[in-house]
Every structure is written in structure tokens, then in C-alpha cells.
Amino acid sequence: MKKPKLLVAGYGSWAKAHANPAEAIALAMGARHWETCDVIGIGIPVDSTAITGEIDRLLDLHAPDAWIGVGVSSAAIIQAEMVGVNWRDFDVPDVNGQTIKATPIAAQGLAAYNATLPNAEIVEAIKQAGIPAALSFYAGTHLCNQMLYTSARLIEQRGAATLNGFIHVPSTPENVLEFASAGSSKSSMPLSLSSSALVQCIEVTAGYIARHRQRNCA
């Protein structure tokens, strides 16, 4: 049976993380050897205008069985996001210096999309590995939410069976130290732990895909 193909897309540098752990984790996942799946690790610019075209291009280029977005948050734990909403509203600028107020992501789009990754199973596996994690039902209204909503919408438009979701990781201690004077979050997690959480996410998702394939072939 063909291995599941998973695409891990991590956001790059932005105003609150010059060295974004999300991108570092995504690239590390792509460089890692996997027995049960193939993993593509991609860095994504924090660009609200270009993100739709970039996701569209990557879905066409790689045709993954699962899209796993990764971004940094102010929380102290790993969060598996359950819902992406059709709103952009942020005053922390993207890489182009753009801020946006109360604007839909897609003018004619649905109000929200549910993630389709096996998030409950993912969170339980991460916790069993000794890493704090939880389900989250609000991904904010910055680009993390925009990636979750947009990838779900593009997958639906294709009529694809691609699983979709987004994982928030805490900032690193290094980023907290860098931005401490600006009053940013003081919550952090070592990159090694956040990376281990994504390993669990990938292994659970690959297993979930394999089980569903077996059922469909039975």
C-alpha cells in the first residue's frame, strides 16, 4: 500500500518571531526519515495577500493526503485547532506591514470550516508523550486562522479527500527573551518539545489515513 503523503506548512519570520519555531519544525519534519509516511516540510511567508495562491500552488504540486499547518501562539501548550473562521482582523503586521480590520478571508465563503485531522487522537498522543496539549476551538483572526480556513476551502473546492488542520506551538525561550521588553507573551516551550509534538501529530495522522485506506479496500 502506498505511504500517506503529509505536507507540513510552517509560518516563517514575523513581527513576534524573527526565528519562527513553526518554520523550523516544518523543515525538520520534512528532513526526518519516516517509516510509515512521506512528509514534505515547507516554510510559508506570513503574507495575508499571497497565502491563498501559495496554498493553491502547493496543493496542486504535491497533492498531499493531509495538510498540517503550524504557527506560533502565545499559549504555553500545543493546541490542535478545530475551527477556521472567515475573518481577518489583526494589528500585528504581516511581512508586508499590512494590518487588517474585520475583513472576510473569502467574500463569498462559508462562515467557518472544521478541521478534519484526527485532533482528539493527536492531542492524546502528544499528552502521552509527556507534552502539554489541548484542543482549541478558536485559532484567532491572524494568519494562522487564515491558513486553516483557506486550506479547508481550497480542498473542498477540489473535491479532495485531503485531511486538513492547524497546530499552534508556543514560542521558544529565545523569542520570549528577544521580545520581553515589548510586553509579548512570556509563555514558551523548547523547540525540541514542540518538534516532538509534531512527530506525534504526523504519526497519528499517517496511521489514521492508513486505517481508512484499509477499510475502503476491504
> Any idea which residues carry the catalytic annotation?
81, 144, 168
CB 29 within 8 A of CB 202: yes
Q: Give the 3-state secondary structure of the chain.
A: CCCCEEEEEEECCECCECCCHHHHHHHHHHHCCCCCCEEEEEEECCCCCCHHHHHHHHHHHHCCCEEEEEEEECCCCEEEECEEECCEEECCCCCCCCCEEEECCCCCCCCEEECCCCHHHHHHHHHHCCCCEEEECCCCCCHHHHHHHHHHHHHHHHCCCCEEEEEEEECCHHHHHHHHHHCCCCCCCCHHHHHHHHHHHHHHHHHHHHHHHHHHHC
Closest alpha carbon to 10 in 175, 186, 189, 168 = 168
The angle that helices 21-31 and 191-217 make with each other, rounded to 10 degrees, is 50
Q: State residue 78 phi and psi, 5-degree precision.
A: -75, 135
